[in-house]
Structure 1
Amino acid sequence: MTRGAPIPETVTLHVPFRIVKRGGRKEMQMPEGAAHPRRTDNTLVKALARAFRWKRMLASGEFATIGELAEREGIARSYMTRVLRLTLLAPDIVEAILDGRQGPKVTLARVLEPFPVEWAMQSGPFGQIG
């Protein structure tokens, strides 16, 4: 603004974004390169916690089979096996999820789908970790 120029009554800003569902909530997704605050996806964190807890219970011998543990937890065995697979995620992906730095492709629905067990191959399906 220059001196003497009138101040406009309305200023319009255009910010490109889109709304996506993450963990049952709606969230704004900013364009590539835009800074956005970190936000921990609680459903992903809870799924990771359950996966590592269940793995520990199986490894300790507390439960002999996944079916036995699934029955005790009151969930379907097929769901438990998909969640247990999260223990095979690369450490950098797990850390990013816990820090809220996971990319927009890293959703609970996406990580429950089959993914490569080789850590180096996982960056493809889950994109760049921020």
Structure 2
Amino acid sequence: MVSELELVVRSTEIDVNGHVNNAKYLEYLEWGREDWYERAGLDYSAFLEMGIQTVTVNVNINYRRECVQGDRLTVRTHPRRAGRTSYVLKQELVDAAGVVRADAEVTSVCMDAAERRSRELPDRLREALQAVDA
């Protein structure tokens, strides 16, 4: 499953160079991941039911082109691969003309909420991660 979250760059996201601050791209990606989880039926309450949390352990991002105030962007998110305890989501930040402004692969680890240690992906999460249509 692919989620697409639309956003507009606001003035508060611009740095002294007149473009989006690099840290804001990470925030946009986080919003996109939350949207993907919700569309996959994996909101926070679902994680609580499974007794898990997820922790981002690596973000590999490519800043392709700058974004400026007023840009209309779409954060595309879809599963890339799933391992035993971790998984990777592929994300792209695309403008209205379809130009990729940034792309990233984000690795997360499934963690047992009570023990605070990594654990195997629950079937429900693994199934959502395997429902790749992009």
Establish whether TM, by shorter chain, passes 0.5.
no
Quick one: higher RCO (CA 8 Å, sep 6+), 1 or 2?
2
Larger radius of gyration: 1
Q: Scaled by the length of structure 2, what TM-score is found?
A: 0.28
